[in-house]
Amino acid sequence: MKPIMGYKRSDGRYGIRNKILVIATVGCANETARRLAERIAGTVFIPAGKGCGQIGDAVEITKRTLTGFVLNPNVYGAVFVGLGCETIQPHEMVARVQKVSDKPVYSFSIQEEGGTTKTIATVVPLLERLVGAAARIVREPVELSALTLATNCGGSDATSGLSVNPALGVATELLVAAGGRSILGETTELIGTEHILIRRAKNQQVKR
């Protein structure tokens, strides 16, 4: 199959998209982060479901998840927005990402900036610069073997089993045949179709 065009990242992976993430580190910052992303095309708002009052392993799981968002090859860079008094601090997330990636990442605290309005006024110019920098990256040919496709249920309806699910299945098989990877993120959607997947298993261990 012919290569497609993608964005090469410094870790050697390729993204098909080239987005800037605006990530809330706590639910209290969701509205500010959402308003920021709405103002700048090319950005994506990632809301926080947690981030405050978490303890134990839950803190580490959340931090690992937020880090993973930034490391996705479809992402050019990110801005973390927090309130300032939460368990998961935005500046801590920047430090965590910088240990494993050279992507541009920044952090802002709503309390330190003096409120939502002032935070938006400060961050919007930065987002504009990040979007501009991302736009200057030139796409290059990418072999399908370098790609990973993530799939997940988007909300089943009466026709999804007849339309989009089979189409996505065909796309997955074409990608895998070309040497790429596909990851299914919601195994409960497989109930009743185990026999179909077993026929496609690469070895006995996967079948079992």
Together in a domain, 92 and 180: no
Distance CA 29, CA 10 (A): 30
pLDDT band for position 1 (50/70/90)?
Answer: confident
pLDDT band for position 190 (50/70/90)?
Answer: confident
Place of tokens 């736009």: 135
Together in a domain, 16 and 37: yes
> What per-residue confidence (pLDDT) applies to 145?
94
**Domain residues for 8?**
4-135
- Sequence-distant (6+) residues with CB within 8 A of 34 are 22, 24, 45, 47
Indicate if the pLDDT at residue 141 is higher than 80: yes
> What per-residue confidence (pLDDT) applies to 137?
96
pLDDT band for position 154 (50/70/90)?
Answer: confident
- Sequence-distant (6+) residues with CB within 8 A of 86 are 25, 26, 28, 29, 51, 52
pLDDT, one tens digit per residue, over 75-133 is 999 999 999 989 999 999 999 999 999 999 999 999 999 999 999 999 999 999 999 99
Write phi, then psi, for 201 (nearest 5 degrees): -65, 140
Write phi, then psi, for 6 (nearest 5 degrees): -145, 175
pLDDT band for position 30 (50/70/90)?
Answer: very high
Together in a domain, 197 and 165: yes
The pair of three-digit structure tokens given for residue 59, joined into one six-digit string: 């803190």
What mean pLDDT, rounded, does the chain reach? Answer: 92
Together in a domain, 15 and 60: yes
Q: What is the helix (H) or strand (E) element at residue 93, kind and residue range?
A: helix 90-98
Domain boundary among 135, 161, 188: 135
pLDDT band for position 48 (50/70/90)?
Answer: very high
What sign results for the dihedral spanned by CA atoms 46, 86, 105, 129? positive
